[in-house]
A = this chain, B = another copy of it.
Amino acid sequence: MEKKSATRLDIARRAGTSVSVVSRALNNSGYVAKEKKERILKIAEELNYAPNPVAISLQKRRTRQILFYCRNVDNAFNMQLYKGMLDAAADRGYMVLFNGKTAFEDLRNTLVDGIIMQDQGLAAYYLRNYGRNYFLPVVSAAYGEVLGEEKDSERSAESRTFSRTMPSGRHSVPIVEVDTYRVMETALDYLEHCGHKKIAFGTPYPAENGNVRTAAFLSRMHERKVKDARNYILAVSRRDSRLAADSRLLSFQEEVAENPHVVNEDFFGKGRLAARIFAERKMDATAVVGFNDEFSLGLICGFQEMGLRVPEDISVMGIDGNDARKYVSPLLTTVSLFPQEQGAMCVRVLLDLIEGKKVRYVTHTGFRLLEGESVLPCASAAGIL
């Protein structure tokens, strides 16, 4: 048993034939005498033969593995994305591996045919710094990425298509995303429908940070003729001293941030803190839309810790459709982005790319309001402070 495992050559020798016949027999492809085939199969069995997948991959120049590269292992939303990927990939004979931490430089040594990046920021960074050297197809799921020039130019090119040739844009990657602007609209419409007039947007980033979700909020508020919209942005400063101290868990695990732009965000903790800031600033909103569900769960926790009732005193709404909602009462009302479907779509786009088909540059996936109990319906909308 200690010795190395059998190869097709070993089988061929015992069967008194050649490797190519053995290969055909094992893969049942091509001609091979029935009797001989049986003998080969039997010998393979006896030898506990198992093909070497690495050799097959080298020959076929295809591993049939793809990777979901995702830093936020903690976030259930990403795990839901991953779940969606698994099925979609299996349908086409691929495996999806997951990796949350390998340095970008080492990523190129992964034995995969393509990579799905957690979000656009990561994808752009990767491509800019490492991607040019070898074109391993990459697809990105979008999620709260920062809005910049690149983003602007991208928005105007939604119908651009890709093939396996180098993309035309500078650092562009096909992305699968949800239309954040319409999502935000859905959230705000719902709250207004429930009677809320003053609506805040809670975000874990500084107010000036131009992430799409904040931008979408401002844009929608603008449309609604709210002039002091910026006052309704409830931002958590990255350096708020209470951040570390506020952790609910004794932390025996030091957090390590390796890439400057990729932090393992504690959305929950920031949401929790945001609730305190809301009170300190005496914001007069009757409802808060959180940056994402994790953040919103933190908001609920924070409000409750201050003795406020959700939704009687303050309504909270999220964005994502994160299954972690189940843990918290009241059940969070949210706009679900159906991460599973988004993940599945990422896989389809990536596999199309790998297989040389043309793919759309931007693919939009669906969303839907999921009612919970965290928004006061038809509220008389009295300020609480």
Contact flags A231-250 to B (C-beta < 8 A → 1, else 0): 00000000000000001111
Question: Which one of B57, B134, B165, B327 lies within 8 Å of A324 (CB-CB)?
Answer: B327
Given contacts A48-B134, A370-B250, contact A328 B325 (CB under 8 A): no
Find out whether the CB atom of A111 lies under 8 angstroms from the CB atom of B65.
yes
> Nearest chain B CB to A188's CB is how many angstroms away?
21
Closest B residue by C-beta to A163:
B2
- Does any Cβ of B come within 8 Å of A382's Cβ? no
CA distance A187 to B183 in the complex (A): 46
* Segment of A19-27, A193-201, A297-305 engaged in the interface with chain B: A297-305
A324 to chain B: which residues have CB within 8 Å?
A: 324, 327
CA distance A102 to B83 in the complex (A): 11
> Nearest chain B CB to A200's CB is how many angstroms away?
22
- Does any Cβ of B come within 8 Å of A9's Cβ? no
- Does any Cβ of B come within 8 Å of A340's Cβ? yes
Find out whether the CB atom of B53 lies under 8 angstroms from the CB atom of A108.
yes
Q: Count chain B CB atoms within 10 A of each CB in A98, A102, A132 and give the residue with the most.
A: A98
Find out whether the CB atom of A95 lies under 8 angstroms from the CB atom of B110.
yes
Question: Which one of B54, B99, B166 lies within 8 Å of A95 (CB-CB)?
Answer: B99
A159 to chain B: which residues have CB within 8 Å?
A: none
Given contacts A63-B54, A100-B83, A134-B50, contact A249 B304 (CB under 8 A): no
- Does any Cβ of B come within 8 Å of A82's Cβ? yes
> Nearest chain B CB to A247's CB is how many angstroms away?
8
CA distance A247 to B80 in the complex (A): 17
A134 to chain B: which residues have CB within 8 Å?
A: 5, 48-50
Given contacts A53-B108, A53-B109, contact A340 B253 (CB under 8 A): yes
- Does any Cβ of B come within 8 Å of A97's Cβ? yes
Q: Count chain B CB atoms within 10 A of each CB in A100, A165, A297, A305 and give the residue with the most.
A: A100
Find out whether the CB atom of A132 lies under 8 angstroms from the CB atom of B48.
yes
- Does any Cβ of B come within 8 Å of A86's Cβ? yes
- Does any Cβ of B come within 8 Å of A135's Cβ? yes
- Does any Cβ of B come within 8 Å of A150's Cβ? no
Find out whether the CB atom of A111 lies under 8 angstroms from the CB atom of B57.
yes
Given contacts A74-B76, A252-B338, contact A53 B95 (CB under 8 A): no
Contact flags A260-272 to B (C-beta < 8 A → 1, else 0): 0000000011000
Contact flags A322-355 to B (C-beta < 8 A → 1, else 0): 0111111101000010101000000000000000
- Does any Cβ of B come within 8 Å of A33's Cβ? no
CA distance A101 to B5 in the complex (A): 27
> Nearest chain B CB to A48's CB is how many angstroms away?
5
Closest B residue by C-beta to A371:
B250
Closest B residue by C-beta to A64:
B109
Find out whether the CB atom of A50 lies under 8 angstroms from the CB atom of B108.
yes
A80 to chain B: which residues have CB within 8 Å?
A: 253
Closest B residue by C-beta to A50:
B134
Contact flags A101-139 to B (C-beta < 8 A → 1, else 0): 110001011110000000000000000000011110000
Not counting A55-B58, A57-B111, A247-B326, a sample of 12 additional A-B residue pairs whose C-beta atoms are within 8 angstroms of each other reads: A1-B165, A51-B109, A53-B108, A64-B109, A73-B79, A90-B102, A97-B98, A249-B325, A249-B326, A304-B329, A324-B324, A327-B327
Interchain Cβ contacts under 8 Å between A and B, 26 examples: A2-B165, A48-B133, A49-B134, A50-B108, A50-B133, A50-B134, A52-B58, A53-B110, A53-B111, A54-B54, A54-B58, A54-B63, A54-B111, A73-B82, A74-B79, A74-B323, A76-B76, A83-B101, A90-B101, A95-B106, A248-B325, A268-B326, A304-B329, A305-B329, A324-B327, A328-B328
